[in-house]
Structure formats: C-alpha cells, structure tokens
Amino acid sequence: MRKDSKMKQQQVTQCLVFLERQSKSGQLWVSTREVADRLNISVYLARQRLLALQEAGAVDSQTQSGCDGGRGQTRYWRCL
C-alpha cells in the first residue's frame, strides 16, 4: 500500500473514531471544523475524509446556515 493511501485510510479511521467518541459523550453532531481541528488537518481534507465515510454509509451529514459570522453553511456529521 502506498504511503498516501495508508495515511488517507488512517485519517478516515481517525475521523470515524472521533465521531464515535463525540456521540458517546452526548454530542451527536460535530462540525467539519471540529473534526479538522481535532485531527490537525485542513477543513478541506477533513471534509474529503468525512465524505468517504458518508459514501461508505458510516456517517450522515446535515448543513446549517452559519449564524456565527462564517462564510456560509456549516456541515455537521454524526455516526450512523
């Protein structure tokens, strides 16, 4: 397995583990920014990894208009 593929798989796994932990602690929906900050990766990379999990049927997402002065809509994620 190539180094890039291995790192991608590790990041996908880390995203899922983080969402599972948040869910168990009572926080069902987690923003893309929270995932990115926790895993120390960019928001764009976090979104790519989360979309891969969504395609696999492991997570669900919803969008919400930003009311905190952000640029637009915030996407939130949860484990299924």
pLDDT at 4: 86
Q: Which residue has the higher pLDDT, 3 or 62?
A: 62
Query: Based on the structure, what is the number of domains in the chain?
Result: 1
What residues contact residue 75 under an 8 Å CB cut-off, 6+ apart? 31, 32, 47, 50, 61, 62, 63
Reply yes or no on whether the pLDDT at 1 is more than 80: no
Q: List pLDDT tens digits, range 44-71.
A: 999 999 999 999 999 999 998 766 566 6
CATH of the domain at 49: 1.10.10.10
Cα 22 versus chain centre, distance: 11
Q: Where are the alpha helices (DSSP H) in 1-80?
A: 3-24, 32-39, 43-55
Mean pLDDT score of the chain: 90
Q: Containing domain of residue 47, as a range? A: 3-79
